[in-house]
Chains A and B, each alone.
Chain A
């Protein structure tokens, strides 16, 4: 392989990492930090993707409007979802929240799947990309993917800063570490979780907007995407909003380079096996910050 191809592959792999991190955005906060297993994560992504497709086709400056509006609206939907559906069971038994959360979010995923299918007549969603590739000598840099990567870096940094340096962020971390102690010092578990869920839903919506410019979205895609994202989070390390980005980058670069060297059909098998093997030696995730959060 010549140098240009190698660099091109490396570049594409890095950008692919951004795409993987994109999938995990939101879930990293909701499941990774808070421990709330939200099976409807991908369904919100799908919903946002469809809304974006409609908006950008119907209204002038629809895409800009979509980027401002849809994440906020979806965040609102997330807030309503949490207060109306999840809040009750969470208040009742915060320590045994897993089962109701699984049932409710799975139910929600099914409802959203059919809702989207009916509203948009079962068709797929896809949006034309707006950004042209950037030519760097002989290398070509996908405009969309570069934007996604930048976006993910900024978002991860912002989330990280929020968790570290603001009161609400600290509340969230405290809650994730020790629920009882957090409640004792006056943190409202339901309020804090609702906030995290709202932000997480907004982030999934944001992911949907980008995702639909690269790929196509179907109503049925929600659950498979959620599970893929969950896996990514576990491999890279829970309890951190930055880890999915590093994990995504590693997976992306590995996959692309292996595909370039040995052909595409075995690339993801080898990459996955490698990651799983590495995970055996770092059971808490490859990029977990050691000692920052104590084991749950």
Chain B
């Protein structure tokens, strides 16, 4: 009984709080820069970005510790104020909470949710209310084909996701053929479609392209087919669970191409595969040893937030979004949305992951670097000016990994 009373009181209080939203008059000078985000704390994307609310909090604390961001127009430093909601990895919820960030919390700037479907839904709210929206991990070109003005995205479009890898393969000139194993879900399919073209352009012969349901539990049919074709590269366009299950069976059935490429080979990838993960090539946004931007600050934010870089390979992309936001705010010198958005669109800075600018449709330039797992560590292998290690090709036999 008492617990129910407590619950009732709690909920009534919550409702009262919900109703008493301060209605600020826009003419008064702002006391803070309000930034907002939705994070998939629960639901299917929680394993990708679950703890990222802490990352946002760590960033805001870090900026505020230095007094905030100086805005010329008001001639003072304004602190950041953060609002974050859990979007349940659901498009409708992401859209609703994006709307809430804008209309209730009255944020000056929104960071997009994780994944393309959520961003597609949420960005509509920002466009409608004319609030700058920085998409982070959402690279389906469909989002940016709508001619939206109020959106920019940190990372490059999905079809170009592994273009540096194909550049490297072409430059090395050793591999002749590639076979694609594609997980039939949004991001992998997008990457595959782009990569197929890039691979052809790099002069490779496409031996096979197997599009496989995401929850496939047995890969024998695919592996047998690939064994017969014996391509130089087996390119696994898949999320981590799919890639792990595939690699386990590839080892059991002794599929030995000259190279395995798994577009996502971080997170938990190495742990269940052990030595089978060695020499697999994939993508990293950032690896220790890269010298762009301010890696020390990034690492200290990760530490404050309690986030492990290997387990959350997207965290550098969020850091770049923070850097972009900070720079855009201080260059615009005002919270006027129009000025802020135009500054954002014309921005050109060097972030943690390299130089960033935005195309006319809002798509950014940050792209992942090919990296290879060598002795349990990720080594960036291309381009030479960024590389932290050398590409080992061909991969040694299974027994020698």
Contact = CB atoms under 8 A, between A and B. Distances in A.
A–B: direct contact at CB < 8 Å: yes
B216 A264 contact: yes
A121 B308 CA distance: 10
Contacts of A219: 46-47
B271 to A, nearest CB: 5
A16 B211 CA distance: 20
B67 interface: no
B177 to A, nearest CB: 19
Interface in A234-260: 252, 255-256, 259-260
B220 A9 contact: yes
A19 B245 CA distance: 13
B218 A122 contact: no
A5 interface: yes
Contacts of B240: 124, 216
Interface residues of B, number: 38
Contacts of B210: 263-264
B51 A16 contact: no
Contact of A128 (B211, B249, B274): B274
B42 A265 contact: no
The listed residue with most B CB atoms (<10 A of its CB), out of A143, A216, A219, is A216
A13 B184 CA distance: 21
A252 B216 CA distance: 11
A121 B51 contact: yes
A88 B153 CA distance: 53
**Category for how many chain A residues contact B:** 35 or more
A143 B251 CA distance: 12
Given A140-B254, A252-B218, A268 B268 contact: no
Nearest to B306: A121
A203 B244 CA distance: 25
A128 B272 CA distance: 4
Contact of A12 (B213, B220, B248, B272): B220
A231 interface: no
B218 A16 contact: yes
A214 B222 contact: no
Given A9-B221, A267-B213, 9 more contacts: A12-B218, A13-B220, A123-B267, A123-B268, A124-B267, A213-B272, A215-B245, A255-B218, A264-B221
Interface of A: 5, 8-9, 12-13, 15-16, 19-20, 113-114, 117, 121-129, 133, 140, 142-143, 212-216, 218-220, 252, 255-256, 259-260, 263-265, 267-268
13 contacts: A5-B224, A8-B253, A117-B50, A125-B268, A128-B273, A142-B252, A212-B272, A218-B46, A220-B46, A260-B224, A264-B216, A264-B221, A268-B216
